[in-house]
Structure 1
Amino acid sequence: MSGAASRQPLKVALLGCGSVGSEVARLMTTHADDLAARIGAPVELAGVAVRRAGRSRPGIPDELLTTDAKALVKRGDIDVVIELIGGIEPARTLITTAFEHGASVVTGNKALLAEDGPALYEAADRHGVDLYYEAAVAGAIPLVRPLRESLAGDKVNRVLGILNGTTNFILDKMDSSGAGYSEALDEATALGYAEADPTADVEGYDAAAKAAILAGIAFHTRVRLDDVHREGITEITAADMASAQRMGCTVKLLAICERAADGRSVTARVHPAMIPLTHPLASVREAYNAVFVEASAAGQLMFYGPGAGGSPTASAVLGDLVAVCRHKLKGGNGPGESAYTQLPVGPMGDVVTRYHISLDVADRAGVLAHVAAIFAEHDVSIDTVRQQGKDGEASLVVVTHRAPDSALRAVVDELRKLDSVRGVASIMRVEGE
């Protein structure tokens, strides 16, 4: 008998048995010997909390199933709790209860971490246990641990990423096929990429929660979900896609977390943007995720892979399980919260970016001069202008140089007041250059 097999098993409680939870349970069984060898002791699934009793869960003995999640985490003999039920409550109470009873926690709960991460860190530290959450951001892609540990000695300046597979699939289909938003969403739903209610994905809430987590880790400061500027993709049109293509760009829903040039603040935002086809993120297709990290010493790093799904996310959960079990076995804990910089989170208006603005205007002399004057009044420089007229109407597309977002917004507000401007057809930021 090996040394690992001869040790007392570490007991694991699993909260939630959906697509990810059931795959975690399956992998813990099928990879039991390998996990024991890597950890130094066996891991034993001691209980599985589910919402509804009476349903068969293949591969999970009925005696392990319970609807009383609180009793499970309060048992006192549980070494690690894996929380995969999501949402704020009862997840928050269950996690803090697990800490109080000496259990470390592995979670994939991005919403809870974005809202209440600091309090959870403090509770874990107070009770001398671990809080790990690789699965909360970008599924199987190893991202949290590299930021927390591998780049701990470096200075991260920017994190730019595609963090939601549903929206990337929709935008990719619009770009490649010329489909409209509704048509692409219907295809995503039919293929199982989009939920019946896709609001969290298409309005950017999912990506914003992940952006808050990544910004906090990258910049060693506390960033909450409310600090993240958020815009969704529901207003993106086939015309926007065609305009991006004419510029040699594509459209992606981007999460952008960056340190201010003077180093005194940070910003975090999620919104659709045009990016050049030469940028690595432009080639991320279908439901994949990718994150581009820029650090002072390491330079530019790219992380790419499946950002969701039962097996990919379960892989991230098991990686965390191995880490916290090793700590349980040998003593000590992994990295906790690092928020020593206490940098303020700046408003969206402070962000320096570029705009692509499409206007419907009257096709008559002097219109372009009036439009250009408004840009000049707000100290926004114009990069390119494209105008096409027909039957007394015209389409005017203006792409700016970099300027504060507040100035660009003020320009748009003034343009809407011009008699010669019949409508602002679309506004989109240009990033990644």
Structure 2
Amino acid sequence: MRLALLGCGTVGSEVVRLLHTQAADLAARIGAPLEIAGIAVRRVGRDRGDLPVDPALFTTDPLGLIKRDDVDVVVEVVGGIEPARSWLVEALRAGKSVVTANKALLAEDGAALHDAAAEGGADLYYEASVAGAIPLLRPLRESLHGDRINRVTGIVNGTTNFILSAMDATGAGFAEALDEATELGYAEADPTADVEGFDAAAKAAILASLAFHTRVTAADVHREGITEVTVADMASAKAMGCTIKLLCIAARGTDAAGRETVSVRVHPAMIPLTHPLASVGDAFNAVFVEAEAAGQLMFYGRGAGGAPTASAVLGDVVAVARNRLAGAYAASESAYADLAVRPMGEALTRYHISLDVVDRPGVLQAVAGVFARHDVSIATVRQGPAGGGPAGRGEDADLVIVTHVAPDAALAATVRELRGLDIVRSVASVLRVEGGA
């Protein structure tokens, strides 16, 4: 069984090493040995240390490698949209199975890959695209195929989880925690994809597509990052018995006409310390699945890194290689439900709102009136002097309000009106609250 490997960076190098060190076991599991037919890279002459591979296997012609008759499986760990999309479509249409870790491509145009796989009668596997080595996508795709999944909530980005965990544990600000994450190698030199939620949004789209049998793209996902989370937010969360996590949330629901829909969003949120995801710290990932028959399931582990990701890649390689030897292939995709994606404004959420207000009689009543006008029910109110200073001096005061569940559009409209009140000096922060009553 011969493989074409596209990319030989952090993940690709680990794939090569595991193919070498576990060659006998892999051959026994598959029923035939795995061999590397070629490795497509940008620069053939680059020093790759003690990588156990014949230098003659390297090529700068990925398309030529893919088209070779002796290639059975194409493994793509390059990333990006193009030219990866063109390469994989070419391979799948030619009947060659594909294993990819390319979350961005799957989230933007997974439909093109699935259609090409169906056309060519080939396998498309992508366990490594979400949550690294955690066995997650195959349980959604196969093990839970006889069940009905209602909600998927996850921490799927290790960089942001490390930053928020550090802020919670040490009281550090966002910039300081990001610097630490960069020094330890958890954050890229340009951390935008992580801290602004793009990475998590791509993974949320893939999870929603599998869970709800519906094609969901990254463009369908409401996305917010963590750059606005403050030390004060962390302190307020602790006072409520909560912590703050960047969550991806995909859930079933119904629209105003009673039709079934899905909601897919990524944003920071407060969750109670009693929630299973609250204890997920450092750069770990975890996904909490709620299904009708199976109940609540938790998947936890390292969500990134060369070796964990390579482990997931090779798991897929074993599966597709065994299928090829048996003359079979798995169903490309299950998108029969074709549910509409609900706009963020219709999603049901709770808000935690911190206001800096004028400290005088009638302020609380005026603020409560704004919530009432938008049909948003207040769950709790906490009031104190601005900045936590001494009370009774006629200065500004802090109001911290937590709402009951309401449509996100109503909550957003409430915040907009609050910003326009002359008694509100500023809306210091707005965070959603998840996982509680």
Whether the TM-score (by the shorter chain) exceeds 0.5 is yes
1:323 matched to 2:326? The reply is no
Equivalent residue number for residue 14 of structure 2: 23
Cα distance in 2 for residues equivalent to 1:200 and 1:394: 37
Partner of 1:39 in structure 2?
30
Please state if 1:399 is matched with 2:402: yes
Are 1:279 and 2:275 an aligned pair? Answer: yes
Moved more, 297-306 or 115-124: 115-124
Contact 2:92 2:113 survives alignment (8 Å): no
Aligned to 2:364: 368
The partner residue of 1:14 within 1, 5, 19 is 5
Does residue 231 in structure 1 map to residue 234 in structure 2?
A: no
Contact 2:141–2:211 (8 Å) recurs in 1? yes
What's the CA shift string for 1:400-419, capped at 9, x where partnerless? Answer: 01111111001001101100
Deviating beyond 3 angstroms after TM superposition, the runs of 4 or more aligned structure 1 residues are none
Answer whether contact 2:37 2:70 (CA < 8 A) is retained: no
CA–CA separation in structure 1 for the residues paired with 2:42 and 2:381: 57
Q: CA deviation at 1:61?
A: 1.2
Maintained 8 Å contact 1:76/1:102: no
User: Equivalents in 2 of 1:331, 1:299: separation in Å?
Assistant: 36
Distance 1:307 1:32 in 2: 25
- AA aligned opposite 1:397: V
Q: Which residue of 2 aligns with 1:423?
A: 426
1:99 and 1:105 in contact (8 A); partners too: yes
Tell me the TM-score normalised to structure 1 length.
0.97
> What CA distance in whole angstroms lies between the structure 2 residues aligned with 1:23 and 1:55?
16
Residues in 1 aligned to 2:245 and 2:259: alpha-carbon distance in whole angstroms? 27
- CA displacement 1:263-309 (0-9 Å, x = unmatched): 61001000000000000100001000000000000000000000000
Partner of 2:134: 141
Which residue identity does 2:414 align to in structure 1?
Answer: V
The one-letter code sitting in structure 2 at the alignment partner of 1:325 is A
CA–CA distance in 1 between the matches of 2:271 and 2:107?
A: 27
Match of 2:109 in 1: 116
Measure, in 1, the Cα distance between the counterparts of 2:328 and 2:52.
33
Aligned to 2:388: none
Question: Deviation at 1:330?
Answer: 0.4
Decide which of 353, 357, 362 is 2:349's aligned counterpart: 353
Alignment partner for residue 64 of structure 2, among 25, 48, 71? Answer: 71
Q: Deviations over 1:64-116 (max 9, x none)?
A: 11111111111121000000000001100110111233311000000000011
Cα shift at 1:53: 2.0
Matches within 5 A, 1:106-255: 106-255=99-248
Q: What code does the residue aligned with 1:396 have? A: L
Percent identity between matched residues is: 69
Q: Secondary structure at the match of 2:417?
A: helix
Secondary structure of 2:36's counterpart equals: strand
Q: How many aligned residue pairs are there?
A: 424
Bigger drift between 59-68 and 387-396 goes to 387-396
3-state SS of 1:358 partner: strand
For 1:11, the aligned partner's letter is R
Alpha-carbon separation, structure 1, partners of 2:94 and 2:218: 29
Structure 1 contact 17–50 (Cα < 8 Å) conserved: yes
TM-superposed deviation, 1:358: 0.3
- Give the aligned CA root-mean-square deviation in angstroms: 0.9
| TM-score normalised over the length of structure 2 | 0.96
Tell me which amino acid in the other structure corresponds to 2:62.
Answer: A
1:340-365 C-alpha deviation (Å, 9 max, x unpaired)? 01110000011111000000111111
